[in-house]
Amino acid sequence: MESHTNRNSINSANERAENAGSKEMAKRIRHLERMLETRIDIDHAKAILMQKGLCENEAYGSLRHVSMMTRTPLPEIAKAVILADLVEHDGLR
């Protein structure tokens, strides 16, 4: 009987560890997805600035400069550039 109880305790502990591992893995996946979205937004904003005549390094430097001067995170600056470009080209219908 004691052996059966020990096995149940071990199985229960293993399940808890697996669940904790799954939660940690899900958290890591969400973090990586946010990082990828950020990278995509920054690349999109750089492309918009490059269409206006800046080279890639100048475009990135411009985004960083505005970010630092306004104390606004770079991803937010990138989204603002994307939104401004959208409004400029498509207008607010």
CATH code (residue 24): 1.10.10.10
List, run by run, the mean pLDDT of 10-residue segments along the chain (93 residues).
63 68 84 95 98 98 98 98 93 67
Decide: 41 and 79 in contact? Cβ < 8 Å.
yes
Angle between helices 2-51 and 74-90 (to 10 degrees): 50
Radius of gyration of the chain (CA): 24
What tokens appear for 75 in the block?
Answer: 């991803």
Q: In the prediction, which pLDDT does 22 show?
A: 83
Domain count for the chain, please give it. Answer: 1
* Single-letter amino acid, residue 28: R
Range of the domain at 83: 2-90
What is the distance between the alpha carbons of residues 44 and 57, in angstroms, rounded to a whole number?
A: 14
